A and B are shown apart, each in its own frame.
Chain A
């Protein structure tokens, strides 16, 4: 069974701090990795995609991928209350190339 695991949280950080969200996956053949944000009552929206080992930065967001250890993380710098949401990790399944979704980590940024 191919799996994607995330801590459910809630992860609580003060405004201005760095929030670190982690995701592990089971399929060594996975090549595509996505972080989505979902506000309560809304649909998921893409934050970052990453395909190669290392870091990828976009504004306050940095995705980190380590294929050897099979984890992908999302760092949010200078966290804002508006970042409070559930963050979903999605990973392709290699062989059939369908995305598998984690259950999400709830983030609360406190003013």
Chain B
């Protein structure tokens, strides 16, 4: 079946602009995660959604970052007033439930000029 998809694959933006990153999880997966990975660094947890529960936003680095998940499926990560330090690969993953195997999308490479 189809895996996790993310769009766009690459995004170049100017400092101060807002960006939206999209994630389509595997159908039927109730848990969805957003991570950030800077060049040569580990995975940085941002936020996760589990079913209808309130999302765990504990990893969001600032109030410029927000995410929503509509209808328990597609998720959008929004970064407002982008800064150069936001440049990274943003990875989305989904799993059947919170401790099952996470399947990752191909990521969105964000470059803030």
Contact = CB atoms under 8 A, between A and B. Distances in A.
Nearest to B101: A46
A34 B99 CA distance: 10
Interface in A61-103: 88, 90, 92, 96-103
B65 interface: no
B34 interface: no
Contacts of A97: 98-99
A42 B104 CA distance: 10
Contact of A103 (B41, B99, B104): B41
Contacts, number: 41
B106 to A, nearest CB: 6
A18 B105 CA distance: 30
A43 B105 contact: yes
Nearest to A102: B42
Interface residues of B, number: 16
A92 B99 contact: yes
A49 interface: yes
Interface in B99-113: 99, 101-107
Given A32-B99, A43-B91, A98-B98, A103 B42 contact: yes
Interface in A26-50: 31-32, 34, 42-46, 49
B12 interface: no
B56 interface: yes
Of B45, B56, B99, B104, most A-chain CB atoms within 10 Å? B99
Nearest to A92: B99
A45 B48 CA distance: 18
B42 A101 contact: yes
Interface of A: 31-32, 34, 42-46, 49, 88, 90, 92, 96-104
30 contacts: A31-B99, A34-B101, A34-B102, A42-B106, A43-B91, A43-B105, A43-B106, A43-B107, A44-B91, A44-B102, A44-B104, A45-B104, A46-B102, A46-B103, A49-B101, A88-B42, A88-B43, A92-B99, A97-B98, A98-B48, A98-B56, A98-B98, A99-B45, A99-B99, A99-B102, A100-B45, A101-B42, A101-B43, A103-B42, A104-B42
